Structure 1
Amino acid sequence: MGDMPQIGGAPVVTLKADAPPGRSGFVEATILPGRGMMLLQARVRRPPGDILDALFAPPVEEAARRLDGGPDDFAGNQAFLFGGAILAPFANRIRGRPLRETREIEAHVDGRRVRLPRNWGGKAPGAEEYAMHGLILDAAVPFEQPGPERVTGRLEAGDFGGRWPSQTELAFDWRLNDGALSLRIEAVNVGAEVLPMGIGWHPYFALPSGDRRQARLRLAAALRAEVNDYDEVLPTGRLQRTRGSVYDFGGETGAALGDLHIDDCFTGLRREGGRASVEVHDPAGGLGFRIDTPSPAVKAVQVFAPPDRPFVALEPQFNLADPFGEVWPAEVDTGMARLPPGGRTSYEVRLCALAVGT
């Protein structure tokens, strides 16, 4: 491992496997154990044999510059701006009271007062800042690679540096198999208190055509969480029906994104055969991607797709934004799992490449 490039103080791991003949499939994946087991890149082979990058992400050398001590990498922020970061013990945003002279907020998590990094927020003057996308973005995870197509890791996260209730252990398992890339995460409460847990994954899918407006989204979700605006992107506490709206992507072929700016959290996911799915298609580029999850704890999918960028981010996750926020009515399940001492929960996703046409 000494000659391998390193990011986050750990070697970059490359998985390799053959894709099934005659159809599109994943043949390579680049994992960063030094950055919370995030996926940096995945490569797809399409018939008759061309190789494409699936994710919007820089090369390893540039990723190392951005992720290893860059000025904009407070609390690991750079990890969720490209590639596919893993989010835990919460996905999305958590609001709280900003603490003076620190880059922290004081937030209430399951009735307990905690201090979280104030690592994101709106860009407009006076916009609110908050905690974003969990506490493992810059975590170094001890790992093993039992074969060329698999890497596993185990993180004794404890109380995440005093920032979260109880004590957590996280186990990660990435695999390339039969042209698909799969991820499994298991969280175990090894402490004496109830453990609130939210897990997510944040992949940015590159569009070969570069034209996001003609990209199509397929997501069968009954509800969309209304937000205050697309700068702070904070929930109002209202869930709106998607059917018949511009956010209705539940048809057999989904719907084109057009000029719609989207940074929205969808819930009320429809499951078929015990699985929820989300797809993005690039008809002009001839390629699409589908994420399937059998995990019943996945209650939401965040979609981030600015009209002028050549990517669509699809983020299956346990929880809605600001899951402990006062804006949510008591009857709304905001998605956080609550694990008793000794309890566990799992997160599973399987990523496939699709051949699509105009």
Structure 2
Amino acid sequence: MSVFILENDKLGLHFSTDGAAIWRFFAKGRAGEVPLMHAPSATVGGHAGQSACFPLVPFGNRIRNNLFVFEGVAYSLAPNTDWDQHYLHGDGWTTEWSVAERAPDRARVVMRNDSAGSPYVYGAAQFLVLEGTTLTLSLEVVNRGARALPFGLGWHPYFPLTAGTTLQAPANALWLEGANWLPTDRVVVPTDLDFRTARQLPRRWVNHGFEGWNGACEIVWPDREARLKLDSDPLFGRYFLFVSDPNFDAGYNYEYFAFEPMSHSANAHNLRDGAGLRRLAPGESLSGSIRLTAELES
């Protein structure tokens, strides 16, 4: 495992090859560092699930019963954590990546998966670039298996949640949550989760996939005089929003939330038309980028 820092005169980023995870991402303000992702208390280089952001590859979230059928073939997956019965978020966040390129303000890391717990055999690469006030994250996956399979991409970043934090991220539908954190019904976005205009996040459990997103998001921290604009490639037409709850997560005090750009819906393997997943034949690839731009008022 390698831990290193990327930086320029505007931004800084702490990164680990374990899970290709970002542990700290901050802007350099006049008075010091301004966090742009939630900096966990865990030591940099711990498990990626405790980090500030990790990639989702070869897909994100969960598949109902860890089973799906694709082009007439049934596939199963084995759980990959000791606390969830599902194969969760793919393999990227549980795998050691290798550094392929590195400079002071950029890095490219790569991995290959041949897991016995999954039908997916693939290679992946993540490219991180700091340029001015913008961090660009790019992710690519290549099907190295013998059969075509449905693939998806995404990221799982956590952001600071302060008293005045607002989120703007327009969407036209969301999936209700049922047992085992799986989606049930697709409905119109309810008023308190309608982020077509800037709105504070509710202080309650939220765990929904949103659809019909235009790829634009803005998070504002008025008390820190800072904002972060997130711009996604058209591939990422969905996002997942997560706010935890002290009854679920002991010690949680609404200090962070997750906003996850995704190419597909949760349980997409079992939804009509793949719900955003892309069919990749052997040797074919899928790639996309998001850009996170910081704006400081002081």
Task: Give the alignment's TM-score, normalised by structure 1.
Answer: 0.74
Match of 2:219 in 1: 280
Match of 2:250 in 1: none
Match of 1:234 in 2: 182
Quick one: which of 148, 169, 194 aligns to 1:219?
169
Quick one: which of 252, 256, 259 aligns to 1:314?
259
Answer whether contact 2:141 2:285 (CA < 8 A) is retained. Answer: yes
Deviation at residue 268 of structure 1 after TM alignment: 0.9
Match of 2:284 in 1: 343
> Matched residue of 2:193: which SS?
coil
Match of 2:249 in 1: none
CA distance in 2 between partners of 1:323 and 1:107 (Å) = 11
Does residue 1:262 correspond to 2:246, yes or no? no
CA distance in 2 between partners of 1:63 and 1:13 (Å) = 10
Match of 1:323 in 2: 268
Deviation at residue 49 of structure 1 after TM alignment: 4.2
Larger-gyration structure (1/2): 1
Which residue identity does 1:163 align to in structure 2?
A: S
Mapping of residues 1-358 of structure 1, within 5 Å: 10-19=1-10, 27-33=11-17, 35-46=18-29, 48-58=30-40, 62-64=43-45, 67=46, 78-96=47-65, 106-108=66-68, 110=70, 111-117=73-79, 119=81, 129-157=85-113, 159-161=114-116, 163-165=118-120, 167-207=121-161, 210-211=162-163, 214-228=164-178, 232-236=180-184, 238-242=185-189, 245-251=191-197, 254-270=198-214, 276-294=215-233, 296-306=234-244, 308-325=253-270, 328=271, 330=272, 333-355=274-296
Answer whether contact 2:12 2:28 (CA < 8 A) is retained. Answer: no
Which residue identity does 2:67 align to in structure 1?
A: A
Task: Name the CA shift for 1:260/1:138 in 2 (closer, same or farther; >3 Å).
Answer: closer
Task: Name the CA shift for 1:17/1:316 in 2 (closer, same or farther; >3 Å).
Answer: same
Answer whether contact 1:282 1:356 (CA < 8 A) is retained. Answer: no
Answer whether contact 1:205 1:311 (CA < 8 A) is retained. Answer: yes
Q: Which whole-Å deviations, capped at 9, do the CAs of 1:70-112 have from their partners, x for residues lacking one?
A: xxxxxxxx4234310111111011231xxxxxxxxx5225343
Answer whether contact 1:168 1:189 (CA < 8 A) is retained. Answer: yes
Q: Which whole-Å deviations, capped at 9, do the CAs of 1:321-354 have from their partners, x for residues lacking one?
A: 11223xx4x3x65221111222211021111123
CA distance in 1 between partners of 2:82 and 2:177 (Å) = 16
> Matched residue of 2:48: which SS?
helix
CA distance in 2 between partners of 1:224 and 1:120 (Å) = 28
Answer whether contact 1:94 1:323 (CA < 8 A) is retained. Answer: yes
> Matched residue of 1:130: which SS?
coil
Q: Which whole-Å deviations, capped at 9, do the CAs of 1:232-255 have from their partners, x for residues lacking one?
A: 32111x21122x62221112xx21
Q: Structure 1 runs of 4+ off > 4 angstroms?
A: none
> Matched residue of 1:269: which SS?
coil
Which residue identity does 1:44 align to in structure 2?
A: A
Deviation at residue 55 of structure 1 after TM alignment: 2.3
Answer whether contact 2:77 2:87 (CA < 8 A) is retained. Answer: no
Deviation at residue 222 of structure 1 after TM alignment: 0.7
Task: Name the CA shift for 1:258/1:355 in 2 (closer, same or farther; >3 Å).
Answer: farther
Structure 2 gaps, min length 5: 246-252
> Matched residue of 2:95: which SS?
coil
Answer whether contact 2:16 2:44 (CA < 8 A) is retained. Answer: no
Answer whether contact 2:57 2:154 (CA < 8 A) is retained. Answer: yes
Task: Name the CA shift for 1:303/1:88 in 2 (closer, same or farther; >3 Å).
Answer: same
Q: Which whole-Å deviations, capped at 9, do the CAs of 1:258-297 have from their partners, x for residues lacking one?
A: 4353221111113xxxxx1122222223222222111x32
Structure 1 gaps, min length 5: 1-9, 20-26, 68-77, 97-105, 123-128, 271-275
